[in-house]
Structure 1
């Protein structure tokens, strides 16, 4: 039985990450210098992997994070289904103590299983899960793509991992993430398993 290998990464660092500004799906920020170094380190460590396809969100920070692979001429598809969760009216703003209170209240709702709750004008984890499902269908229905690289965003990655591994969305914070971290998964045709969890060894020299 052939096993599909999925390399799942979060995009590299942006200035918004450093400054504590909410990005989400509505802010199309670019990588900063540190993020570009992270992308270069990941490319150096994994350029030998025979990827059949690169999948990204439609946001430029994911494209920039896999630029080295795209320059090799690898097939690339971008899907809005892989975009970050929308944080609604919070996007593009710095987190304040007052907003922190609202934000953490929403996070507590999610942990309690109320994953239909959303920030004002934004998406809920349930909403994100729905728009990810067509992409999951693509990933699981293309046996000719034996090894794929997927670059996306932190909160959306947590939702995706819950869906792939059969966890309730209330458990999504179990999947930690850092800029340009790697999860490696195997797919047997019926089951996803994690081969590598939150791997950042490739970033040891990317300060």
Structure 2
């Protein structure tokens, strides 16, 4: 199966660099709505047979134009929502709360799945719910599925599950709004990343050290 993991369009919380992970979450900005409207053209070459979105409103708003263009319904699933920030909810993502959040997220991807987000979920729970939706899509018979999800969740799951992407790669490459990670594979056989934000994995751009909202991390705060 070909899998497109798409980050949602820009939200008001993104503009303010806030850790916004609770349902229903922030609305799209004007730019975010334009990004959503542009998504069908951005993936025009993809033979998408299923469109998924999380239970946060920003992913559903982003997925709607794509689903409409393909004559599909948006399949809303809680499993691909953003990684729960818990006690860090709505705190600054470009400061220490955001650095702590991402340290935990990439610890999960590296295998420390028993670690728990303060007041939130642990890696076992986060990966299990995301895996569940991926498995559903694979079992549906769709040859290509698009899932509109969230930046930290996409990077964490991909680093944990793809054979050719590790934590350092995903940590160094934050996804812009409506950025896409394209994978090929299956839950049984494993996954390989084909492209990350439009670049083939082998030719991806230079590393950048960034946190969950694209802000640079201090040297002692890198995941």
Cα deviation 1:28-87 (Å, max 9, x = unaligned): 211101111212222222245332110111111111112212223313311110010110
Q: Which residue in the other structure is 2:191 paired with?
A: 192
Is the alpha carbon distance of 1:183 and 1:33 closer, same or farther for their aligned partners in structure 2, counting shifts above 3 Å? same
- Indicate the SS of the match to 1:40: helix
User: What is the TM-score when the length of structure 1 is the normalising length?
Assistant: 0.78
- Count of residue pairs the alignment pairs up: 196
Unaligned segments of structure 1, at least 5 residues = 201-207
- Indicate the SS of the match to 1:66: helix
Question: RMSD between aligned alpha carbons?
Answer: 3.0
User: What is the TM-score when the length of structure 2 is the normalising length?
Assistant: 0.73
State the distance in 1 between where 2:50 and 2:153 align. Answer: 20
Contact 2:19 2:98 in 1 (8 A): no
Greater RCO (Cα-Cα under 8 Å, separation 6 or more): 1
Between stretches 5-14 and 72-81, larger displacement belongs to 72-81
Contact 1:5 1:184 in 2 (8 A): yes
Mapped pair 1:154 → 2:151: yes
Mapped pair 1:16 → 2:19: no
**Offset of 1:197 from its aligned partner?**
1.4
Q: Which residue in the other structure is 2:212 paired with?
A: none
Mapped pair 1:66 → 2:102: no
Unaligned segments of structure 2, at least 5 residues = 200-223
**Offset of 1:168 from its aligned partner?**
9.5
Q: Which residue in the other structure is 1:165 paired with?
A: 162
Is the alpha carbon distance of 1:149 and 1:113 closer, same or farther for their aligned partners in structure 2, counting shifts above 3 Å? closer
**Offset of 1:15 from its aligned partner?**
1.2
Is the alpha carbon distance of 1:77 and 1:6 closer, same or farther for their aligned partners in structure 2, counting shifts above 3 Å? same
Q: Which residue in the other structure is 1:132 paired with?
A: 130
